[in-house]
Amino acid sequence: MLARLGIETTYYDPLIGAGIAGMFRPNTRAVFVEAPGSQSFEMQDVPAIAAAAHARGLTVLMDNTWATPLHFQAFAKGVDLSIQAGTKYIGGHSDLMNGIIVCSQATYPRLHKLWTDMGVSASSDDCFLALRGLRTLAVRLERHTQSALAIAQWLRQRAEVCGHGLKFVAGGYGVGKRDPFAANVAVRSSGESSAEARAQAALRAGSDDVRDQHGV
Ligand SMILES: Cc1ncc(COP(=O)(O)O)c(C=O)c1O
């Protein structure tokens, strides 16, 4: 879709940090960050990326769906437009069709023009469900965090899993400690062809064990 609109994209290593400055091209206008990134869950050094982008006058957009605004305050870290899939943690009950873009004062006029030109609007029912979800977001996330930690601690003892749980956060670990996002666990199997199936089986068994042990 972006290509049809004449927009070129370049993908970067999520652990690139300030090194992203070396990837900017003369026609670069924006940096789109998703942190932690879906599937592999590296936590990017968003302040370093934002500083490099702003030094070139670029706009920083962030998909902040995984961490939510409670676990990652995007604007304080230099983001200009913070994007949430409201369908996930915000809604919390799998019954909401909604996406949210929160912007800075400086980016508001451009965003406002785009959304009025496109005629985008949210239904009143969806707004109601999003507001309902926000009321319980904090308690739900706290429980998600406890569950994720319990599962990660169980997984770290399993031979079938090589880059796992708490250790896997080592992809950006220093940053992960500074900007903890919690509530998410990524698992990698040990590389043999059957290892993935074993890791999945371990996860299935583990979630039962963990539920038994921790009541999660
Ligand atoms: C991190 C993240 N952002 C955005 C989306 C898009 O969500 P939706 O299709 O509900 O808008 C997803 C969906 O999986 C996601 O995982």
pTM of this structure: 0.83
Q: With a 6 A CB cut-off, is 99 part of the ligand 1 pocket? A: yes
Q: Is 13 left (phi over 0), alpha (psi -120 to 50) or beta?
A: beta
Model pLDDT, residue 198 = 57
pLDDT of 136 over the 60 cut? yes
Q: With a 6 A CB cut-off, is 63 part of the ligand 1 pocket? A: yes
How far CA 211 is from CA of 48, 137, 139, 154, 205, in Å, comes to: 39, 22, 18, 11, 10
Q: Tell me how far the alpha carbon of residue 162 lies from the centroid of ligand 1, in angstroms.
A: 27
What residues have CB less than 8 Å from 127, skipping those under 6 apart?
A: 98
Residue 61 pLDDT grade (very low, low, confident, very high; cuts 50, 70, 90): very high
Q: With a 6 A CB cut-off, is 66 part of the ligand 1 pocket? A: yes
The 10 Å Cβ neighbour count of residue 214 is 14
The 10 Å Cβ neighbour count of residue 72 is 21
- pLDDT tens digits, 117-133: 999 899 999 999 999 99
SS3 of 84-118? EECCCCCCCCCCCCCEEEEECCCCHHHHHHHHHHH
Q: With a 6 A CB cut-off, is 100 part of the ligand 1 pocket? A: no
- Every domain of the chain and the residues it spans: 17-124, 137-214
Question: 166 phi and psi, to 5 degrees?
Answer: -60, -35
Q: Which atom of ligand 1 is nearest to the CA of 66?
A: 1
Amino acid at position 175, single letter: V
Q: With a 6 A CB cut-off, is 38 part of the ligand 1 pocket? A: yes
Secondary structure element (H or E) that encloses residue 162, with its range: strand 161-164
Asked if residues 46 and 53 have their Cβ atoms less than 8 Å apart, the reply is no
Residue nearest to atom 2 of ligand 1 (CA): 65
Residue nearest to atom 5 of ligand 1 (CA): 85
CATH 3.40.50.2300 fits 17-124, yes or no: no
Q: What is the mean pLDDT of residues 190-201?
A: 56
Model pLDDT, residue 130 = 97
Q: With a 6 A CB cut-off, is 65 part of the ligand 1 pocket? A: yes
pLDDT of 76 over the 90 cut? yes
